[in-house]
Amino acid sequence: MNCCYCFPSLFGCATLTPPPVQIFRTPNGRNNGLMALCAFERGAAVGEFVGVITKGLQDVDVMENTTGSTRYQIWQGRQGNFTRFVNHSCNANAQYQRFTWLGTQRIILVSKGIEAGTEITVDYSDKYWKGLDKKCLCGEKSCRYKGKGNH
């Protein structure tokens, strides 16, 4: 359940081959993270971002999006796949790519060029941090949220 059957060659889909990633415990308080077990070329799909479509959740980690004038949230909680373990970085090595396929909006995690053995990260964007009482723990020199208590 809750797997993508639309892109059979995409890691994390309905294939017998496990995705070349590993969930690991981060040493700096960010809980779990996702590590690349192989190199992902720039533009390579890592996995599809899946979860429960909802709206109105607050103070919860969700991805917010719109289709036309309709706003919605994707909550991965325990319903998502391995992509739910991708942490934020202000200097991310992956990004989410949204597109519509057969009338349904899809979100794919796409590499910006990820080396084997490195953590896969995305920039959660200003929209994510707005209204959350969290501190950014990415540790990047270019951190946009360093030292802020309420984003």
Q: Match domain 21-129 to its CATH number in 2.170.270.10, 1.10.287.1120, 3.30.300.30, 2.40.160.20.
A: 2.170.270.10
pLDDT value at residue 10: 54
pLDDT tens readout for residues 113-143: 999 999 999 998 887 787 677 788 998 998 9
CA distance 63 to 61: 7
User: Can you tell me the mean pLDDT for 66-93?
Assistant: 78
pLDDT tens readout for residues 92-107: 999 989 877 777 677 8
Q: What is the model's pTM?
A: 0.76
Greater model confidence, 145 or 39: 39
